[in-house]
Amino acid sequence: MADLPPTHQRNPALGDSRRQSTREAMTQPAQTKSFLSLQRDALVAELGRLGQPAFRAKQIRQWIYRRHAPGYDAMTDLPGPLRKTLEGSLPLYSSRIEQTQDDPDGTRKILVRLAPGDSVEAVLIPAPDRMTACLSTQVGCPIACIFCASGKAGLQRNLEAHEIVEQLLHLDRLVPRTDDDDRRIDHIVVMGMGEPLLNLANLMRALESIQAPDGYGLGARRITVSTSGLPDRIRALANMGYAFNLAVSLHAPDDALRSKLVPVNRGIGDILDAAREYVTKTGREVTIEYVLIRRINDRPDQARKLAWALKDLRCNINLIPYNSIDEPGLEPPSDSDCEAFAAVLRREGFPVHVRHQRGDRIAAACGQLRAATEAGKFAR
């Protein structure tokens, strides 16, 4: 049994009261009609009401998704009066970048202001071979993993589809570009704030716009959805017929420990059954995420137990050294313990990646920037 600090063993968040809050958020902000909230047909109809031909929808989408336009003003081949009308009747963005933080490694993290009191984080992670965007799906999170900043204040609400797409577009305009190098975001990880599968309908609407050839045009295989491990929702995603990559946050080799780290633990057996079904139905591989926390889940015998639990699942394993959020009793693992843990899994034949957190100097772990901002730690 891992020696989890007693504060966590008595943490009421680990009790049943939390379980109820995993239902879809019931309270939503009043629907505002915005350009990005409308699917193609509704958009054509709306533009028709403004006396505009159908081709306008495509023309404006091109500006938004391909030409990085920050607003209607930049759409120079639209008639001036139309730009003004659209601004009033079909606003483009409902959110704005409130803060940007740059890590020397190139990672850029933004705090996206949705409404007073409502903000989420999104991260741009440039690498030589790929440009990744990390997106949030909820304000806060109901799962309350003990090592994660996002769930500290529980769930506030689900994001609307357009609020998810807007994060991508805000990041898209931060991509470093030159006149002859028009780089685009080519991978998306839904690994920001929130539990994506508890906002499945809005997430799917957002990912449809992102995948559409006249939208951002990014294929499902370049999109990874990460879940804290909700078996019925994994099955629901598998049945939707998309080929998204799935990442499952496991964090422990047995249920006794997992229930302490991830209060909403639906049982490792059922989670892995659902993951196997996902692989069978979609043909995609699953990534198992495992946050390594010093002396809690980082021992070699726990690695062996994990290998045993995963023996029938075709998966990669992503080990993430805990990025400290100043939670008493939780510490990052030593490098040598990380490597020893990885070595056990590799010996058992698993592809293992130790994800040394990028952007840790800018508080890039889930929910940290938002938490610090609301607490006034960063200047605005």
Question: What residues line the site for ligand SAH (CB under 6 A)?
Answer: 145, 147-148, 191, 195, 226-228, 249, 289, 291, 320, 322-323, 325, 365-366
Whichever of 227 and 245 has its CB closer to ligand SAH, that residue is 227
Q: In Å, how far from its chain's centre is CA 111?
A: 14
User: Which neighbouring-strand residues pair with 223?
Assistant: 188
Q: In Å, how far from its chain's centre is CA 265?
A: 19
- Catalytic residue, chosen from 87, 121, 315, 339, is 121
Shortest reach from residue 180's CB to ligand SAH, in Å? 35
Give the DSSP per-residue string, 166-229. Answer: HHHHHHHTTS--BTTB-----EEEE-SSS-GGGGHHHHHHHHHHHHSTTTT---GGGEEEEES-
Q: Which tokens in the block code for residue 114?
A: 């949705």
Q: Which tokens in the block code for residue 240?
A: 């939707």
Q: Which of 195, 140, 169 is nearest to 370 (CA)?
A: 140
Say whether 331 is catalytic. no
Q: Which tokens in the block code for residue 295?
A: 């002396």
CB 192 within 8 A of CB 121: yes
Shortest reach from residue 319's CB to ligand SAH, in Å? 10
- Catalytic residue, chosen from 141, 163, 366, 374, is 366
Whichever of 21 and 37 has its CB closer to ligand SAH, that residue is 21
Which residues, 6+ apart, have CB-to-CB distance to 341 below 8 Å?
292, 298, 299, 300, 302, 303, 319, 333
Whichever of 57 and 325 has its CB closer to ligand SAH, that residue is 325
Shortest reach from residue 48's CB to ligand SAH, in Å? 40
Whichever of 119 and 323 has its CB closer to ligand SAH, that residue is 323
Whichever of 37 and 318 has its CB closer to ligand SAH, that residue is 318
Shortest reach from residue 332's CB to ligand SAH, in Å? 8
Whichever of 203 and 344 has its CB closer to ligand SAH, that residue is 203
CB 22 within 8 A of CB 198: yes
CA–CA separation, 14 and 124 (whole Å): 33
Shortest reach from residue 190's CB to ligand SAH, in Å? 7
Say whether 285 is catalytic. no
Shortest reach from residue 228's CB to ligand SAH, in Å? 4
Q: How far is CA 235 from CA 225, 245, 281, 374, 380, in A?
A: 13, 14, 9, 36, 42
Residues catalogued as catalytic: 121, 366
